Structure 1
Amino acid sequence: MLPRSIGNLSSVQMFEAVGCNLKGKVPSEIRNMRKLFSLMVGHNNFTGIASTTLSSVKNLQHLSLVANRISGPFPIVLCELPNLSILRLSHNQMWGNIPSCLGDITTLRKVYLDSNNFTASIPSSIWNLKDILELKLSSNFFNGSLSLEIGNLKAVILLDLSSNQISGNIPSALGGLQRLIQLSLSHNRIEGSIPDTFGELISLEALDLSYNKMSGVIPKSLEALKQLDSFNVSFNRLHGEIPSGGPFVNLTFQSFMSNEGLCGLGSAIVFLLMRHRGKTVNAEDEWLPEVAPQRIFCYELQRATQDFDGNNLLGSGSFGSVYKGTLTDGTVVAVKVFNVQLEAPVIHCDLKPSNVLLDNNMVGHLTDFGIAKLLTKEESVAHTTTFATIGYIAPEYGLEGLISKRFDVYSYGIMLLETSTKKKPNDEMFTGDLNFRSCAHNLLPDELDQIINVDLLTLDEENLSQKLQSVSSIMELAMNCTTNIPVERMNMIDVVAALKRIKQKLSSCN
């Protein structure tokens, strides 16, 4: 036990006895150490603090009782220390609620109350500590929702509220904590979406929102977080496309596990599934409905491979690793997990309307990357013998099996023509030397009415001439995407910019 004679050390300013197997209570005689500003007695077996122990030690700035056996409620006597700056009570057995008076100690800079048994909601007075730098309340039983006043912690750099029972939505005010470096809200009951304001957390290096009930999409604004290198939203209910820029380039599948609605092309998010059913399928029959590959969610592949356990690793290569897995129906599969970064280009190789899905906002999402090819940084062109859909294939593919970024541009141009004309590239009207492109080219611009999709316009429609001009511009754009020589085709960045200009011009007419 710590002897009571310690009170005779009236001139001592720092006292440290860490890991000394001390037990009993911290003796009340410490109150005589009036010059004491640092008391560190962590990793012992103390069971409590005598009620009058610290009431007279007004100069105390640093108190650490980490990893002891202190039980009972929060020591109210600590609220009487006007100069307390660092408070460490982690890994004890304290229970009850946190008194609101703790928020009155405006000198606090670091507070660690994690790994106790505290209950009730976090007192709103805590959010008044506008100068606090580190606040760790994890691994307790705090409940209730987060107050909007959390936005008052303008100086905080570490905020850990994980492993509690916090519910409700994340306040958008959290996005105003621009000095925040680490934020963890994992293992709670938080609902709602990730605030778009999180894109303003410019100093953020680590964000953990895993194991909650969050829905919605991952805000694209998070691409602006240049310092972010640790990100986890696993085991939520998120959906939509995973952002592809900024820090998301280097994130792996572990960051997004068990969100059934998420999709994307980030590092290690593209899965190539190869299965063996014990029978041979002819190439020409491969895409018939009865043998078409079923869609499998990422979480199913995680479960099939036991979260890509190393024991299921079949091999690794320059683009990624292949794992053995077993689906719930007993089918044995091999799953390739690509670990290349997004500047390694992805050539879809089968761009067509049936591979574009529209969401509720009529935003298109590209799907079915089953025959996609990856180009290395050194490659601009590659050879392939993979079967693609007739009518959407660029000429160089059919002649030499060449693919490049311009390959998908050609297919996109054909899609533009199909949308504008409501005709398919394999329509029976296209025979001999007359193909989809040449037919449209011969009719543009003066005879547009002979080929235009009648569902797009009606003759008595307001601003008919302007809308006809917009459709004509789109078809001209398609012509520039589908030239026979790849280098003469527009690049996709310019295509998107041209479409935006057409859209803006059409909007000004309405």
Structure 2
Amino acid sequence: MDGTNLFHIFVSLLFLYNSPKHCLSRTSPNVTTDQSALLAFKTSITIPPDHILATNWTATTPPSVCDWVGITCSKLHRRVAAVDLPNMGLIGTIPPHLGNLSFLVRLNIGNNSLYGDLPKELANIRRLQYIDVSLNNFGGQIPEWFGAFSKLEFLNVQNNSFSGSIPQDFGNLQSLKVFSIQFNQFTGSAPRTIFNISSLEVLAFTGNSLSGNLPADLCNHLSNLKFLYLSDNEFEGQIPPGFQECSRLQLLALSRNRFTGRIPSEIGNLTMLKTLYISFNSLEGRNPSFLFNMSLEEIYLPVNNFSGSLPRNICPKPLLRQLLIWGNKLTGNIPSAIGNCTALTRIDLQENNFTEYGHEGLVSTSCDVYSFGILLMEVFCRKKPVDEMFTSDLSLKHWVSEALQNDVIQVIDSSLVRKEEEQFAAKVSCISSIFELALNCSAESPEKRINIRDALALLMKIRLKFLANLSEN
């Protein structure tokens, strides 16, 4: 074979090799493909004639698909990179054509009325980093092919009707930061692979039927986790002591499960924790006093089997805003130091066995409202029931009650009200109403005390009246 023939054969082979690629380039997906996919989506949903998509998403209008409502295109390729259609009142299903949006990075169709299964063709969109299909009516098993989206950072499918187990392949999502499957119908155990995703910042499983024990090493790989929602499931066993490894945790929600044993003391090492929900379990042991030495702002411990008493120095750091510990077996006095909880806006200590706060007396399930009344007087008088000025003949309550009948300004903390200020009358009227409420809360007989919910409602009315008086001035 001479060189000329060899050359012709080589050229022929080269042409044959390049021809398919050449033909493919003519029909490769482009922005027209994206437009067709979106129009197919529009066809699959029900929208009223005056809906913005009805007039804006059309192939005949001059604006390109990149200018459609809810659509963002990439600057480089001019392909659809984001579909943002939350809260649009959309009703219908997702067509398989949406899988042709090969450059899609962000898909947000949350809070609509979409239903059915998520089509398997969506698995073709390998660039996806953000998926939000929450607050819809999607059902069936959650697609396993979600686990193939190696770049996915945000996955929110909460408030749908997904069922079955969580696929093990989700552990492959090593870029995932937010993973929420709340309020669906998932069953089985939580895959251990999920707890190996070190990038996770939010993990939300609340409101399913997940069961089994939490892994002892749950936090070994979750050093970036900030919010962990596991409430309203069927988890059981003891709370793992390894939570201290989740050193950045700000919120821990474990309520309404079947946990037993004690709250592990290692939780006390979570210096960034602000909110703790562990209510409605079967936890026991003496009251975990270490919780009150933390920088917690909200503590929810109702309906467990905690015993013992509250720590005397209940607010060493006056950050606590909400304390709910009703429905336990706590005893002893409610410490007077609760007056140091200056940020406290909600407290419920009912259904324990406390001796009432502020004086010796009989055990009462109404002690929490009594405490609230005393607390109100403390805040505006800057006096405690144990102040040296109070004797057996003069208590904080009697002092306030007498002043209300004579000259209330005598008991109001001088730093709160000054006679020379313009709002003097409005402030005095407001604080007088608060004192009257406080006395109703702390009546000697539990039967005569106002309900705590009514007390809070009255407090709101006092606030509104005060603001109205200020505006008139």
For Structure 1 versus Structure 2, the TM-score category normalised by the shorter chain is: 0.5 to 0.7
Give the superposition deviation at 1:320: 11
Decide which of 346, 359, 363 is 1:297's aligned counterpart: 363
Match of 2:198 in 1: 106
Using the TM superposition, give the Cα deviation of residue 249 of structure 1 relative to its aligned residue in structure 2, in angstroms: 5.4
- Count of aligned residue pairs for this structure pair: 307
In the alignment, which of 187, 198, 208 is matched to residue 300 of structure 2?
208
Structure 2: gaps (5+ residues): 1-92, 412-473
Tell me how far apart the structure 2 counterparts of residues 338 and 179 of structure 1 sit (CA, whole Å). 28
Which one of the candidate residues 155, 158, 161 is aligned to 1:66? 158
Does the Cα contact within 8 Å between 2:260 and 2:284 map onto a contact in 1?
yes
Mapped pair 1:152 → 2:227: no
> What is the identity, as a one-letter code, of the residue corresponding to 2:165?
P
Counterpart position of 1:183: 276
Residue identity over aligned pairs, in percent, reads: 25
- Which has more helix, going by share of residues? 2
Question: Does the CA-based 8 Å contact 1:211-1:233 persist in structure 2?
Answer: yes
Query: Which range is displaced more, 151-160 or 341-350?
Result: 341-350
What TM-score, normalized by structure 2, do the two folds share? 0.59
CA 1:176–1:337 in 2, change beyond 3 Å: closer, same or farther? closer
- Measure, in 1, the Cα distance between the counterparts of 2:148 and 2:183: 26
The CA distance in 2 between the partners of 1:115 and 1:206, in whole Å, is 21
Offset of 1:52 from its aligned partner? 4.0
Within 1, Cα distance between the matches of 2:256 and 2:138? 25
Q: Distance in 1 between matches of 2:237 and 2:334?
A: 30
Deviation at 1:296?
A: 3.4
- Please tell me the residue identity of whatever aligns with 2:383: A
Which residue in 2 is equivalent to 1:482? none
Question: For the residues of structure 1 that align with 2:195 and 2:230, how far apart are their CA atoms?
Answer: 14
Match of 1:340 among 336, 353, 377: 377
- Offset of residue 15 of structure 1: 0.3
5 Å-filtered alignment, 1:85-484, equals 85-128=177-220, 129-202=222-295, 204-245=296-337, 247-248=340-341, 251=344, 254-265=347-358, 296-299=362-365, 301=366, 339-341=376-378, 343-346=382-385, 349-350=391-392, 373-375=398-400, 379=410
Change (3 A) 1:370 1:236: farther
Query: In the superposition, relative to structure 1, how do residues 184 and 247 fare at CA in structure 2: closer, same or farther (>3 Å)?
Result: farther
1:85 Cα shift?
Answer: 0.8
Change (3 A) 1:320 1:378: farther
Query: What is the rounded CA distance, in whole Å, between the counterparts of 2:336 and 2:228 in structure 1?
Result: 32
Contact 1:172/1:197 (<8 A) preserved: yes
Matching of residue 28 in structure 1 with residue 28 in structure 2? no
Cα deviations by residue, 1:256-296 (Å, 9 ceiling, x for unpaired)? 1111134323xxxx79xxxxxxxxxxxxxxxxxxxxxxx53
Deviations 1:162-198 (A, max 9, x none): 1111111111111111101111111111111233322
Paired letter, 2:399: L
2:278 partner amino acid: L
Given the superposition, is the C-alpha separation of residues 124 and 345 from structure 1 closer, same or farther in structure 2, using an over 3 Å criterion?
closer
- Aligned residue for 1:166, secondary structure, equals strand
- Residue 184 of structure 2 aligns with an amino acid whose one-letter code is N
Name which of 106, 109, 116 aligns with 1:14. Answer: 106
Normalised by the size of structure 1, how large is the TM-score? 0.55
2:454 corresponds in structure 1 to none
Report if the CA contact (8 A) 1:130-1:155 is conserved.
yes
Given that residues 308 and 329 in structure 2 are in contact (C-alpha distance below 8 angstroms), is that contact kept between their aligned partners in structure 1? yes
CA distance in 2, matches of 1:130, 1:261: 39
Cα deviation for residue 91 of structure 1 reads 0.6
Q: What is the CA deviation profile of residues 400-459 of structure 1, one whole-angstrom value per residue up to 9, with x for unaligned ones?
A: xxxxxxxxxxxxxxxxxxxxxxxxxxxxxxxxxxxxxxxxxxxxxxxxxxxxxxxxxxxx
In 1, Cα distance between equivalents of 2:100 and 2:346: 59
Inter-partner Cα distance in structure 2 for 1:320 and 1:199: 18
For residues 258 and 70 of structure 1, what CA distance do their matches in structure 2 show? 38
Give the distance between the partners of 1:345 and 1:48, measured in 2 at CA: 60
Distance 1:252 1:80 in 2: 43
Q: SS at the partner of 2:267?
A: helix
Measure how far apart 1:252 and its partner are.
Answer: 7.7
Which of 133, 136, 153 in structure 2 is aligned with 1:44? 136
Q: Say which SS state the counterpart of residue 332 (structure 2) adopts.
A: strand
Distance 1:51 1:175 in 2: 38
Q: Deviations over 1:25-74 (max 9, x none)?
A: 22222221111100000111111346442232110010010100011112
1:458 maps to which residue?
none
Counterpart check, 1:78 vs 2:170: yes
Alpha-carbon spacing, 1:320–1:144, altered in 2? closer, same or farther (3 Å): closer
CA distance in 2, matches of 1:107, 1:57: 15
Quickly say closer, same or farther: Cα 1:251–1:110, change in 2 above 3 A. closer
Partner letter of residue 244 of structure 2? Answer: G
SS in 2 for 1:55: helix
Q: 1:17 to 1:253 in 2, by over 3 A?
A: closer
The CA RMSD over aligned residues, in Å, is 3.1
